[in-house]
């Protein structure tokens, strides 16, 4: 099984159980009562949910989407070279930005170059 799917499933299950909700109640809170079967598959870690589904689940549970993600999936995990350069950032600045974000993720107080590049 996919480790990311398993981690999301574990976190989702914890929040749902703390609320005391069934799958049907979570689906209803998401505004789509017919989704409870899909939620069962997600909570068993069978696949990684789409971002919109994660957002809907988080909103229904009253948590942040990041509360459903493992800690290693920080903001920098979503920042890629391709995305930065496609957005018009120079290759040099994109490289500096990625190095800076990765250093912050590792808890280094003095990221390369100090302040945000």
Q: Which domains does the chain have, with CATH numbers?
A: 3-68 (1.10.260.40), 75-105 (no CATH)
Rounded-to-integer distance, Cα 115 and Cα 43, Å: 40
Token readout for 112 is 């390369």
Q: How far apart, in Å, do the first and last CA atoms of the chain sit?
A: 38
Over its length of 117 residues, how does the chain's per-residue pLDDT go in tens digits? 688 889 999 999 999 999 999 999 999 999 886 677 889 889 999 888 888 898 899 999 999 888 888 876 655 666 676 777 778 888 888 787 777 777 766 666 655 555 554
H or E stretch including 101?
helix 91-105
């Amino acid at each position: 099984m996919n480790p990311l799917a398993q981690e999301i499933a574990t976190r989702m299950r914890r929040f749902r159980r703390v609320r005391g909700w069934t799958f049907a109640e979570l689906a209803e809170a998401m505004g789509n009562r017919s989704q409870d079967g899909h939620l069962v598959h997600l909570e068993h870690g069978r696949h990684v949910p789409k971002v919109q589904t994660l957002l809907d689940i988080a909103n229904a549970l009253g948590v942040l989407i990041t509360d459903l993600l493992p800690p290693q999936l920080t903001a920098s995990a979503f920042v890629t070279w391709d995305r930065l350069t496609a957005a018009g950032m120079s290759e040099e600045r994109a490289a500096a930005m990625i190095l800076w974000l990765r250093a912050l993720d590792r808890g280094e107080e003095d990221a390369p170059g100090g302040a945000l590049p």
